[in-house]
Amino acid sequence: MLGSRSDIKVRKGKLADAQPVAEAFRESWTQAYRGVIPHTHLENMIRRRGADWWSNVIKSGDNLIVIEKAGAIAGYATLGFSRTRGPYQGEIYELYIAPVYQGLGLGEHLFEACRHGLDQRRLKGLIVWALAENTRATDFYWRRGGRPVKQAFETMSGEKLEKIAFAWPT
């Protein structure tokens, strides 16, 4: 299903990746959140996070990793210390695969790279938040062994959206 592993590469993001990551972000967020996040809010988020924004993320440290398929950026993830109080020290903030590359097993590859990166930092336990309506994400994290541990709500353009935290213990 994944194809030849020699054409898959996971690595730290570099400045030259800013534009392709911005494109992967735009495509994946448009697909994942159209009809979930209010349209104007989603469009504003996408517009704000162009190549310049991603360049700043890359310059700020080592919290962006990318996955390549045959030399092209197929997706990205951001990770670091948990923003949530509790026993989970590591967090995957975002993990997205561009729609054209979905269904090839790349998300699983990227997820395991994130876990490895957090382990390298000696962060115990992992948490990741997903919008409840993003069933593709919630199903993905469930299949990876994550279990719901928290629920929260975020208001976007007057709409209340449910978020679920999936966790993997230490």
pLDDT tens, residue by residue, 72-96: 999 999 999 999 888 999 999 999 9
- What pLDDT score does 78 carry? 97
Q: CA 148, 84, 20, 1 torsion: positive or negative? A: negative
Write the pLDDT tens digit of every residue in 128-147: 999 999 999 999 999 999 99
- What pLDDT score does 4 carry? 46
Identify which has the larger pLDDT, 61 or 43.
43
Q: What is the pTM of this model?
A: 0.93
Strands 147-156 and 90-97: unpaired
Structural domains of the chain, with CATH: 5-123 (3.40.630.30)
Identify which has the larger pLDDT, 6 or 151.
151
Tokens matching residue 104: 């090839």
- Provide, rounded to the nearest whole percent, the portion of the chain with pLDDT above 90: 92
Alpha carbons within 13 A on the beta-carbon side of 45:
16
Q: Which residues of 3-12 are buried (b: 16+ CB within 10 A; e: fewer)?
A: eeeeebebee
- What pLDDT score does 3 carry? 41
- What pLDDT score does 2 carry? 37
